[in-house]
Amino acid sequence: MSLRRRLIPAMALAVLAACSGQPGKSSAQGVQGSLATPERRIPASAGDMRMSFAPVVRKAAPAVVNVFSRRVVRQQVDPFWEMFGLRSRSGVEQSLGSGAIVRADGLIVTNHHVIADGQDIQVVLSDRRQFPAKILLDDARADIAVLKIDAKGEALPTLAIDDHGDPQVGDLVLAIGDPFGVGQTVTNGIVSALNRTQVSEGDFSNYIQTDASINPGNSGGPLVDMNGDMIGINTFIVSRSGSSAGVGFAIPATMVRQVLNAAVGGAHAVVRPWLGARGQEVTPDIASSLGLPKPEGVMVAEVYPGGAAERAGLQPQDIILTVDGQAVNDPNSLDYAIGTRSVGDSLKLEVRHGKEVHTVTLRAEAAPATPARDERTITGRNPLTGATVINLSPAAAQELGADPFAARGVLVTAIADGGLALRMGFQPGDIIRSVNGQPIKSTAELQQALTAAGAAWRVTIQRGQQEVSGNFRL
């Protein structure tokens, strides 16, 4: 049986029991993280081995909450039973996870997948009080959501975000959350690895790995250091059984801070810098062909015309070794190093060009948003009726997880239930290339081409790395 990546998933029923500790005062005042660095030392005596994590738990646990959401779904009835008058009916799905209060007025961070598509989001505090929550910002790309509850002026216990610390492999950590809905639970372990990439499908996979037990329901809960500060959000596990096998991953506090700051500033989306260059991993074969002493860095495979990388002089086959002194060794780590900076920052890249290594300075900028999105839902009687489409730009592609380097076209972002587009097999993420041989460059052109086609359409799309065509008659 192969290994599977498991998001710490939803559970149907939640036992909303919470632990009863005395609330401790958090060092988080607002959204500024703790700058304290713990002293690292090994146990010096048998007495040291009997020391307890209780002081850390007393400080952190009161700010850890249970998050659950409900959504109504349509349950399809087998066509056989439809002949007897039975129709699809509504059902309720529930999702269970955890979260952490990071500001005393009720600001909470959790995972996107905990509240995704939720229509009724509830938060249960450690003292068992329950509050409805609203979403301030939901960042699917980073798998982070920021919620807000109304505490009626009460100052709630908070958890500091330590995004300036220096977690190291071997550091002791605690994972706090609500696994399986049994109530607030604390597990301990160590930081097993840092900067883990290529372990998830997300754009910003630069995770902290831990062997602290993480199970379904822990999603969104904090990974806490020995100062009682959050260094990450527990997000998913790798497991054959679906339960913890000691291989868990947490989103680093740097990414949490970026999303939180955007929410506090009133933004509904996080605008991240974009290098304007496509990276490629330097394999041993590539390193050998380029005469490199060892595989390292990220090779520039393509440069976007007019982007920051081109203006800074980067060229295909250049090797980016570091970003502001941080080593990068695959495209995901490069995207993370760039994407966690702020638009307008000055970045220093160490670049190998041929046999020479030099420093390139560039200004971090947002991906270009031209052409304008011009979002519209296709109407009329044609095979794409019910599809929501936008004009593809690097900014739109970055936001939606599409390829920013894809040639300009029209991107399908949603498919309506019951629409012809769904029945014809179109999917969100498809890029419409042409209709009846006419290249499609905008949503307006797409609607016009579909309307003018009559009763027969040949539609060419790009899906992933493949370009496919289909003939349709209605």
Residues serving a catalytic function are 113, 143, 219
Q: Compute CA distances 219 → 25, 142, 143, 192, 441, whole Å.
A: 24, 14, 10, 18, 41
Quote the tokens at residue 27: 């060092």
Q: What is the DSSP letter of 446?
A: H
- Cβ burial, residue 368 (10 Å; 0-12/13-18/19+): middle
Number of C-alpha atoms within 13 angstroms, CB side, residue 361? 3
Asked if 123 and 147 count as a contact pair (C-beta separation under 8 A), the reply is yes
Asked if 245 and 267 count as a contact pair (C-beta separation under 8 A), the reply is no
Strand pairing report for 431-435 and 410-415 = antiparallel
What are the beta bridge partners of residue 414?
388
Distance CA 435, CA 450 (A): 7
Distance CA 234, CA 175 (A): 7
Neighbours of 444 (CB within 10 A): 13
What are the contacts of 341-344 at 24+ separation with CB within 8 A? 341/273, 342/273, 343/271, 343/272, 343/273
Asked if 191 and 208 count as a contact pair (C-beta separation under 8 A), the reply is yes
Distance CA 122, CA 93 (A): 14
What are the beta bridge partners of residue 134?
148
H/E stretch holding 443 reads helix 443-452
Instruction: Write down how long the chain is.
Output: 474
What are the contacts of 252-255 at 24+ separation with CB within 8 A? 252/163, 252/206, 252/207, 252/208, 253/33, 253/161, 253/162, 253/163, 253/165, 254/163, 254/340, 255/142, 255/144, 255/204, 255/206, 255/336, 255/340
> Can you spell out the DSSP letters for 239-277?
ESSSS--S-EEEEEHHHHHHHHHHHHTT-SS---B--SE
